[in-house]
Amino acid sequence: MATDIEFELDEKTKLQYPKKYKVFLLNDDYTSMDFVVDVLMSIFHKNYEEAEKIMLDIHKKERGLCGVYTHEIAETKVVQVIKKAKDSGFPLKATMEEE
């Protein structure tokens, strides 16, 4: 037995999309380029060519954009990078900024 349900929306109601955050990897003098490429491929799901391009941006511009995510996902990516780097003995850092 199906029931019909009607929804009334207040015309003043406006949907808001969640804020987005950019995640960056920061350059340092100790983390290997191969490790950065591995992080970009394993955590940010970049293919090899994308990962290499971002790694070169990090090397040349002091930081590279890895992706844009909702707050929770961006925060999780930052934590994953820091943990993987620490476990591998590298000082690689990740940050997030509101878009």
User: Would you say residue 2 has pLDDT above 60?
Assistant: no
pLDDT of residue 4: 62
Query: Which pTM does this prediction carry?
Result: 0.84
Sequence-ordered alpha helix ranges (H) in 62-97: 71-87
Note the pLDDT of residue 10. 61
pLDDT tens digits, residue range 6-64?
A: 666 566 677 888 999 999 999 999 999 999 999 999 999 999 999 999 999 999 999 99
Domain count, the chain: 1
CATH number at residue 64: 3.30.1390.10
Query: Domain limits at 82?
Result: 20-98
Cβ neighbours around 59 below 10 Å, total: 13
Specify if 2 maps to a domain.
no
